[in-house]
Structure 1
Amino acid sequence: MNYGRENLSKKKKDMTGSKVGKKVGLTVVKAVLICLLVLIVAGGCAGYGIVKGLIDSAPDISNMNVAPTASATYIYDQTGNPIQKLTEPTSNRTLVKIADIPLDLQHAVVAIEDERFYQHNGIDIRGIIRAGLIGVTSGHFSEGASTITQQLLKNNVFTDWVTETNLIEKFKRKFQEQYLAVKLEESMTKEQILEDYLNTINLGAGAYGVQAAAHRYFNKDVSELTLSESTVLAGISQNPTAYNPILYPSNNADRRKVVLEKMVEQEYITQEQMDEALADDVYSRIQKTDSETEQTSVYTYYVDALIDQVMDDLQTELGYSYLQAYKALYSGGLKVYSAQDDAIQQICDEEFANPANYPSFVQTGLDYALSIQQKDGEVLSYDTNDLLTYFQENGEPDFNLLFDDDDTARAYAQQYKQSVLKSGDTVLTERVSLIPQPQASVVIMDQSTGFVKAIVGGRGRKEASLTLNRATSTRRQPGSTFKIVSTYAPAIDSAGMTLATVFDDEPYAYTTGVEVKNWDSYNQYKGMTTIRDAITNSVNVVAVKCLTQITPRLGFDYAEKFGISTLYDDVNLDVRQPLALGGITDGVVNKELTAAFATIANKGQYNKPKFYTKIEDVDGNTLIDNSPVSTTVIKDTTAFLLTSAMQDVVTRGTASGINLGEMAVAGKTGTTDDYRNIWFVGYTPYYTCGIWGGYDNNDELPEGDIYHTYSKVLWNSIMTRIHAELPAMQFEVPANIVKTTVCRKSGKLAIPGVCSNDPRGSQAYEEYFVSGTEPTESCDLHVAVSVCSKTGLLATSTCPSFNKICIKRPAGSEGTTEDSNYAPPYQTCPGHTVIEQIDDLLGGDKEKESESETEAPQEGEAPPDQNGGGENPGDPGENGQNGEDGGVPPENGGGDAGQEVPQQ
């Protein structure tokens, strides 16, 4: 060994260096460890911060309802049975309690979706590990590990998960979902979670939740589902499109078998139960239900009208915006109680479908829509007006969309389609609707409440929801029905007139100079006419004279009080003389005109026509109470007097074909120029019914009684059946109504032996009056004149004579009327010689007697120069007369609806 100084010094140096190296190395290690510790602490703090941030930013579910919030609205009938479901595509669900969901369905969903649902605390750790291992080994992380609790949160709390664009967003949502799942299970039972989940899930075909799906696929309540049917639904939720049992029954069958196997494996059912379920031909029932559902999915006209009214009321009464009202109606789970009477509606539907109630020759109307995509991608749309214009501009100027048969209509539609299609174009949609013509609509109201009991918006099959409703939206000219609303109601109610007030039915013109014609212009003017007779026989001249006297402004104001909302407050449009005859700019809708007459039937109290009684929210709280709220339009005495006059319309006037036996009926006919519109609006002590008829294109109806009267035929057919089992009733007479015998020509007290001996028959009759308004003066138009039986001139002392009852026309009377024929002679007989007198005494007694009998008619007989007697020569027979409103020329508002009306 070398112990020299040099060697010792070197060794010492080496040892010192080694110690220093070790010390440095230890320091480095310590530093590294410290750094690692710092990183770990920092990472932990950061991780804690991240986790805390994720937790803090998670939705607060402490006061949040995780149950589905969007659910279907149901319309219920008067007995509380659901008759129509209203939904948005994602809100077609009906909430049910877990107790109403079969255990087989609960177990089927748990077995296939979350087999450890009843054991885990919201997160299935075993499921997560299993999904991770499968992902690592297969390279595909497609195995699901979400629990039912997580899926409930995903669907009802994290509703925007479909918009996640990256892994960070997905991780954040997944972490919060798992965290909240644990929290949720601390506050809710498994049954509550499962209930919400089963009410939430998308089960295809637009059905959300098990109740909606049960009805969609099996047309039954969820509580009635069998094991076989339950497993069909349980198999859908993983992929609602691919496993849709209507579109892809084989896919669903494969999935359903897996569900059953899982249920056997987890001991929810036995193998025998599985085999029995697999043997069930469940898919044939589904296809049958789907076919029936498609046929009944179109809303009725009544539901259409109800939806429109609910939408309006949610906005006007609750202050909703249009979008809020729409969301509430289609996804708010509302309960709307309809005012419809099923029995009355069925009668209306059946009578509208009965060909016997219409003209035998039925034409076809065409409604057309076409949408095409051109080669460059532009989409073009065409409709009925485009088709109409095309043919009118290409050789058929009289083309009017009316055809003698369906095949011809289809051929025109095909020809038009070919005219607009170009090479490379693709037809996206095409609709050819064939509509029977002429058309009709009906509205039936309970006048005491305003509730609409039934409507039909058109004859023929209804092919779509929320389409043209002729009962509630189509505006047509009302004709003479409007005389009651605009003229005679205000005249009697506030202008001091009575049913005995007389006007001279004589040649007359509007202030514009246009002549006012009566509908029966082939007969002469009747002369002095009471308001009662003017209503009974629909005399146009009297109506216009009456409105002129009370002023069109008063008539307009009353029409609006009666609920007519389609008028224009303008002296150049509707505040003018043609208003008396229904000559208005835009016409009226049946619903409003019927409500106006219902006001008269309801003793002058107006009720807005209503299609529902109340609306409740999803919890049963009343949102809108639609109970009747009446407003006074006319006095009850005015209503009774109008009713009495309109009873005459039915018994001896223009609606004499109407007959309900012993039941009291009052009403008014109405037609417009060339019979483009025919109306009958009438009522009983029970119901008010309005019928409109005409062509959709406003063409004139052909000649023939059935074309001009089928509105009355429909009315009588419907109302006869409605009242068949109802006790006959008469209209109630107010206490302060009195009767007085008056003269039909003067409206004053009748003079016995004078007014009663009018050559046309007695003109004395009993009239109703409000006490205190009856006349006090005697008739001053009838006069008894001594007339020579030889010459018919005023008799002298030498003439054989008799007393003749004549009419003195009032000063200022114009033209020739029926009364003109009964004016007193204006010349005096020159007298007779003594020889003529002696001859009469000796041999002319019998001849004189014969002449006297001929020339001096007795009470009720016709004069020798008249063709028959009766109080109303030319009155309609049992089938009535029509076209009574032809006196409104188009240029005065009585023509086509929507036509421009020139200034007065």
Structure 2
Amino acid sequence: MNYSKKGIHNKQKSLHATSAKLGRKLLLATLNLSLLLVLAVGIIGLCMGLGIFKGVIDSAPSIENVQVTPTGFSTFVYDLEGNQTAKLISQNSNRIPVTQDMIPEDLAHAFVAIEDERFYEHNGIDIKGIFRAAYTGIMNGFHFTEGASTITQQLLKNNVFTDWTSEQGFADSMKRKIQEQYLAIELTKTMSKDDVLLNYMNTINLGQNTLGVQAASLRYFNKSVNSLTLSECAVIAGITQNPSRFNPISHPDDNATRRKKVLGNMLDQGYITQTEYDEAMADDVYSRIQVVNEDAEESMVNTYFVDALTDDVMNDLLAAGYNETQAFTLLYSGGLKIYSTQDPHIQSICDEVFSNEENYPANTRWYLNYALTIKKANGDFENHSTEMYRAHYRELDPSFNLIYDSQEDAYAQIEDYKSFVLGDGDEVFDESINLTPQPQVSITVEDQSTGYVVAMVGGRGAKEGSKTLNRATDTTRQPGSTFKIVAAYAPALDSAGLTLATVVNDAPFNYANGRPVRNWWGDGYRGLNSLRKGIIDSMNIIAVKTLTMITPQLGFDYVKNFGFTTVVDRKEITVNGETQIFSDIQQSLALGGITEGVTNEELNAAYAAIANGGTYIKPKLYTRVVDHDGNVILDNTEPDSRQVIKETTAWLLTSAMMDVVTQGTGSSVNFGNMAIAGKTGTTSDYNDIWFSGYTPYYTATTWAGYDNNTKLRKGDERNVAKKLWRAVMAKIHEDLPSEAFQMPSSGLVQATVCARSGKLPIAGLCDGTLRTEYFAEGTVPTESCDVHYQGMICQYCNLPASEQCPFKVGGVLELTPIEHPNLQQGSATMQQITNADGSVSTVAVPQNQSATCPHNAEFYAQPDALAIEEQQRNEIAAAQAALQQPPADAAPAEGTAPLDDSDGVPTE
């Protein structure tokens, strides 16, 4: 700096120079203009910001329309005793609301301490919290990781701004934040702090697909929220910030760290004492959680009963007018209460019996379902299905059917298959192996007086998930001889004039298409037998003849009325590219040979109708469905019933089926001390085995078979249905008073008939074959016996002797009576025989054979008649001589084979 005179002078000159003055003025003006511009921009920006803010506020939902009470609640199923048996949930619906009086004080304080410590002080937004979060974010290099949302704001975000997860960028987020804070202030004006906190605790996501504190308390601790300890409250409150990371099941260590912070905050904020803090920290809470989790995972799979129940409720909601989306939403997230017909005692018996491997044959077999995805060396994917797997092994063994004697055999063959299909550089990308124990089984138990299905099991082995195959309701199988009752004998006794004493000849007989009807015991025939005996011994030919007499159409009509929805009168089915017409209105209906098969549930309901005096009640699995507000939306209390057979018919069938259990094909199910009626059922090739039966209390139907229709092996596999039926029903009736079936007070009479003809006995002729039978009034026979003949008999041909017969002797014969016209197949003619007492018998005589012996005038007109007569005389003498020899060990006579507990029948 120059401080000489000259320097100072020059400086003064420059300051007073005109150009300098102009420059300073221009600079000042520029500064003033810039200041005005900045001020203007600031004012404009402020106005715009205020406008935008006002616009954001104005576009926020009106506080009057804001609903912060959570929606989407779990549906609960209850049994007959009011016990909760299942919880139905869908996404965002596993919520159980609780009231304020159920919330422990420690739980409320825990949430406040960790989420919003000034909750009781602020007006919905926490200014201090906002500044704290901002300061922390700046100090962390503008990484804003600490939240400032209050509990009120979180409540709004979860129940009002539910689409916040799909926000696009900062602007959307800021808009929502502003509206959230505004509404938080407004909500605080209209709702108490306790109500805000309660709705928040009923709303929040707490991991494991739980929403709200009650669902979380049950999931983690298996108890209601009002029973939580301080330690358990801290566990739940600690989940909120990150339900995945702080999940106490999958990440117990992370949750423990968070729990410690919750308890520390509660201590610092004065909610708990040091002693309470120490006790809570010492609690080994996570061991309890793991134990509860093991039980919870098992109970999360719905039972077969609940699977069937949800199907029924869904169908009834649709029938009530809901569309499919509405019905599904209501069922799985509508907070319904479904009151089922399930009896917990009977269900537990069924579960115990059906899960006990000792009740099944040794050497369980396994049915494989297999899927494989290969990642090829070139990156492509190749899928292999069960069908492809089976086709591969059928090329090596045509009988291969996916059934293995052991799981080890299955896994070994799977490895062989993979070795075959995997090329160089290929790798297994995904694989599914499902081995199901075989034979499979099912049971339905119904209270026939109400139609209540009280128990159900739809399969054997571990149930892997909800809505899996339910063999009691989802599969249709051939019913075998159980259909003899509903398709043939029920209509025959009810409306066709036949009786239990009606006699049918068990002799060779063909279907209308010419195919022979075969009995289950082989090629022998048992001759004349009553319908009662046909039921007792499950005689196929007698059942088919009975249906033929009454017509298959009548049998079909009765089957439909018995509630079977799967039988068809006409159906087009394409087989090997050719369309064929199938109908169940045919003779094989008597033996259960039908197009589609039947379900266990429907077959059981048909037998329950007989047990219920002929009144069919549509089986029901629930009585009422109540919505979240307590309104009954489905009322199923009134029985959907109809009379399908007369009460007298039902009792007659019951009487015959009691004999099935005491002396027939079902004798192995008899557990004693209780009246039991029932019928066995076995299909051809032993693909399906059934037993349908009932007591005065309950009706039950068991089924056994392979899922892929493999033939059941001889021995225990063919008796498993009856074994399970007996085991279940014996246990059910263990403590029930012994009861007999109640005979109708009127409409039935007893009468004595000849057992060989089913008609009125002839004195002195039928004395050895008398039988007392029950009849519906008006059906007692009025005709005399047409089987027994007394008079002169030809010793040679054992027919009534002709006038010229040289071999006449007095005696008694059994003749084959005339059969119903529908049974005539052109093989016999009808002739009348006069008995010694003057009565007349009409008998069926094979074609080319006389009603009397052939020794008539036409016989003696033959040139060699006398020689033939002499030969016959010698044959008679030889036969008589043979009869006088000491008897050798005799083989059983034809038709006297011991009863087999199975009664295999052909199906179509």
TM bin (shorter chain)? 0.7 to 0.9
Give 1:476's aligned amino acid: R
Separation in structure 2 between the aligned mates of residue 374 and residue 215 of structure 1, nearest angstrom: 46
1:303 aligned residue: 306
SS of the aligned residue for 1:257 comes to: helix
**Deviations along 1:154-203, whole A, 9 cap, x unmatched?**
00111100000022211221111112112212222111111111111111
Change (3 A) 1:787 1:546: closer
Structure 1 residue 456: deviation in Å?
1.8
The reply on whether 1:445 has 2:446 as its aligned counterpart is yes
Give 1:883's aligned amino acid: D
Separation in structure 1 between the aligned mates of residue 378 and residue 428 of structure 2, nearest angstrom: 14
Question: Which of 637, 645, 653 is matched with 2:648 structurally?
Answer: 637
Structure 1 residue 245: deviation in Å?
1.8
2:818/2:844 contact within 8 Å kept: no
Change (3 A) 1:344 1:505: same
2:549 aligned residue: 549
The reply on whether 1:396 has 2:375 as its aligned counterpart is no
Structure 1 residue 448: deviation in Å?
1.4
2:866 aligned residue: none
1:792/1:825 contact within 8 Å kept: no
Separation in structure 1 between the aligned mates of residue 511 and residue 807 of structure 2, nearest angstrom: 47
Structure 1 residue 690: deviation in Å?
0.6
Structure 1 residue 594: deviation in Å?
0.9
**Deviations along 1:810-855, whole A, 9 cap, x unmatched?**
2768879x9999x99736899xxxxxxxxxxxxxxxxxxxx9xx99
Q: How does 1:818-833 map to 2 (within 5 A)?
A: 826=853
Question: Which of 767, 772, 782 is matched with 1:776 structurally?
Answer: 782
Q: How does 1:672-711 map to 2 (within 5 A)?
A: 672-704=683-715, 706-711=716-721
1:785/1:804 contact within 8 Å kept: yes
The reply on whether 1:56 has 2:65 as its aligned counterpart is no
Structure 1 residue 868: deviation in Å?
8.2
1:507 aligned residue: 508
Structure 1 residue 141: deviation in Å?
2.6
SS of the aligned residue for 2:568 comes to: coil
- TM-score normalised by L of structure 1: 0.84
2:873 aligned residue: none
Separation in structure 2 between the aligned mates of residue 304 and residue 724 of structure 1, nearest angstrom: 29
Give 1:93's aligned amino acid: R
Change (3 A) 1:86 1:375: farther
Question: Which of 589, 592, 607 is matched with 1:597 structurally?
Answer: 607
Separation in structure 2 between the aligned mates of residue 259 and residue 177 of structure 1, nearest angstrom: 26
Give 2:565's aligned amino acid: S
Structure 1 residue 613: deviation in Å?
2.3
Structure 1 residue 446: deviation in Å?
0.9
Change (3 A) 1:379 1:235: farther
2:538/2:903 contact within 8 Å kept: no
Mean Cα deviation higher: 379-388 or 457-466? 379-388
1:722 aligned residue: 732
2:370 aligned residue: 368
Structure 1 residue 460: deviation in Å?
2.4
Structure 1 residue 353: deviation in Å?
3.4
Separation in structure 2 between the aligned mates of residue 374 and residue 152 of structure 1, nearest angstrom: 50
Separation in structure 2 between the aligned mates of residue 790 and residue 378 of structure 1, nearest angstrom: 86
2:287 aligned residue: 284
1:494 aligned residue: 495
SS of the aligned residue for 1:619 comes to: coil
The reply on whether 1:202 has 2:229 as its aligned counterpart is no
2:459/2:470 contact within 8 Å kept: yes
Separation in structure 2 between the aligned mates of residue 475 and residue 212 of structure 1, nearest angstrom: 39
Question: Which of 572, 583, 589 is matched with 2:582 structurally?
Answer: 572
Structure 1 residue 800: deviation in Å?
10
Q: How does 1:72-111 map to 2 (within 5 A)?
A: 72-111=74-113
Give 2:362's aligned amino acid: S
Q: How does 1:756-775 map to 2 (within 5 A)?
A: 756-757=767-768, 762=769, 764-775=770-781
2:81/2:344 contact within 8 Å kept: no
Structure 1 residue 331: deviation in Å?
1.9
The reply on whether 1:624 has 2:651 as its aligned counterpart is no
1:180 aligned residue: 183
2:651/2:743 contact within 8 Å kept: yes
**Deviations along 1:288-315, whole A, 9 cap, x unmatched?**
2223323433322222222222222222
Mean Cα deviation higher: 269-278 or 103-112? 269-278
1:506/1:815 contact within 8 Å kept: no
Q: How does 1:395-434 map to 2 (within 5 A)?
A: 395-422=396-423, 427=428, 429-434=430-435
1:681/1:689 contact within 8 Å kept: yes
SS of the aligned residue for 2:368 comes to: strand
SS of the aligned residue for 1:480 comes to: helix
1:606 aligned residue: 616
Q: How does 1:294-333 map to 2 (within 5 A)?
A: 294-321=297-324, 323-333=325-335
2:592 aligned residue: 582
**Deviations along 1:563-600, whole A, 9 cap, x unmatched?**
21222221633222221211112211111111111111
2:759/2:781 contact within 8 Å kept: yes
1:499/1:768 contact within 8 Å kept: yes
Separation in structure 2 between the aligned mates of residue 692 and residue 563 of structure 1, nearest angstrom: 19
Task: Structure 1: state its 5+ residue gaps.
Answer: 1-17, 831-850, 856-862, 894-904
Change (3 A) 1:819 1:430: farther
Mean Cα deviation higher: 258-267 or 242-251? 242-251
2:613/2:651 contact within 8 Å kept: yes
SS of the aligned residue for 1:508 comes to: coil
Aligned-residue RMSD, C-alpha: 3.6
Change (3 A) 1:100 1:720: same
Separation in structure 1 between the aligned mates of residue 567 and residue 500 of structure 2, nearest angstrom: 27
Change (3 A) 1:485 1:56: farther
Structure 1 residue 802: deviation in Å?
5.0
Separation in structure 2 between the aligned mates of residue 136 and residue 354 of structure 1, nearest angstrom: 66
Separation in structure 2 between the aligned mates of residue 357 and residue 654 of structure 1, nearest angstrom: 20
Separation in structure 2 between the aligned mates of residue 311 and residue 377 of structure 1, nearest angstrom: 44
Separation in structure 2 between the aligned mates of residue 788 and residue 866 of structure 1, nearest angstrom: 27
Change (3 A) 1:84 1:376: farther
**Deviations along 1:219-242, whole A, 9 cap, x unmatched?**
222212111111111111111111
Separation in structure 1 between the aligned mates of residue 550 and residue 798 of structure 2, nearest angstrom: 41
Give 1:742's aligned amino acid: V
Separation in structure 2 between the aligned mates of residue 709 and residue 427 of structure 1, nearest angstrom: 42
Give 1:681's aligned amino acid: S
Separation in structure 2 between the aligned mates of residue 636 and residue 373 of structure 1, nearest angstrom: 66
1:560 aligned residue: 560
- TM-score normalised by L of structure 2: 0.83
Give 1:294's aligned amino acid: E
Change (3 A) 1:616 1:777: same
Question: Which of 880, 883, 895 is matched with 2:903 structurally?
Answer: 883
1:114 aligned residue: 116
1:233 aligned residue: 236
1:599/1:607 contact within 8 Å kept: yes
1:836 aligned residue: none
Number of equivalenced pairs: 822
Separation in structure 2 between the aligned mates of residue 482 and residue 793 of structure 1, nearest angstrom: 39
Separation in structure 2 between the aligned mates of residue 659 and residue 712 of structure 1, nearest angstrom: 10
**Deviations along 1:673-727, whole A, 9 cap, x unmatched?**
12111111111111111111122221212233x3332222221222111112111
Separation in structure 2 between the aligned mates of residue 114 and residue 104 of structure 1, nearest angstrom: 15
SS of the aligned residue for 1:75 comes to: strand
The reply on whether 1:752 has 2:763 as its aligned counterpart is yes
SS of the aligned residue for 1:509 comes to: coil
1:902 aligned residue: none
